[in-house]
Copies of this chain bind each other. A is one copy, B any other.
């Protein structure tokens, strides 16, 4: 027998489908919404609907966009000859925060992950090839995550997709995090940091 009223159960169920929300969190959020002002709860519901109605992926780079193209693709101050390839739109936000990049982006909307059945054809890789073929791009910087899936994707894109084009392909540097401690670095990261060591001017 269910102890809660049906609409509460339905909401707990829907919340539980969200990533990172387990049954306990879903219950906690549902009761929080039950307690809060009807106006506040409705504002959340409207934010969901409004986003689905007004936001889609940019037709060119697959970043989130309110119109056909995103604010970065339509920005004339961005260098169109630099292209940064990322897995998700949220990665763009991380890179933008560095202030170190002024080119454009291409979002793959995922990474190659055979275990989850995600191959190159599920990603926006064909679209990347079309962009590199059609736009005047000088360098593609592969900024997928430094994990198994991201490395596989970067290797695939570099060797199978971009090889035929006359374009420089680079990869984000791996190494010790700034402010990190050698003692606590894992072997892989330390190994990468050694491999990628930079010559100092003397």
Contacts and interface: CB of A to CB of B under 8 A. Distances in A.
Contact of A11 (B51, B66, B72): B51
Question: Could you say how many copies of this chain the assembly holds?
Answer: 2
A5 B64 contact: yes
A4 B7 CA distance: 32
Contact of A25 (B7, B11, B20, B66): B20
Interface stretch (A28-36, A147-155, A159-167, A190-198): A28-36
A96 interface: yes
Contact of A3 (B25, B35, B57, B92): B92
A14 B66 contact: no
A175 interface: no
A124 B42 CA distance: 26
A135 to B, nearest CB: 21
Nearest to A6: B66
A14 B47 contact: yes
Contact of A7 (B6, B13, B51): B51
A7 B25 CA distance: 25
B42 A49 contact: yes
Given A31-B90, A32-B18, A66-B7, A44 B55 contact: no
A170 interface: no
Contacts of A27: 90, 93
Contacts of A54: 5, 7
Q: Which of A5, A21, A42, A88 has the most CB of B within 10 A?
A: A5
A62 B7 CA distance: 16
Interface in A27-77: 27-35, 38, 40-55, 57, 63-66, 70-72
Interface in A130-184: none
A56 to B, nearest CB: 8
A28 B32 contact: no
6 contacts: A11-B47, A11-B51, A20-B25, A21-B29, A41-B51, A45-B49
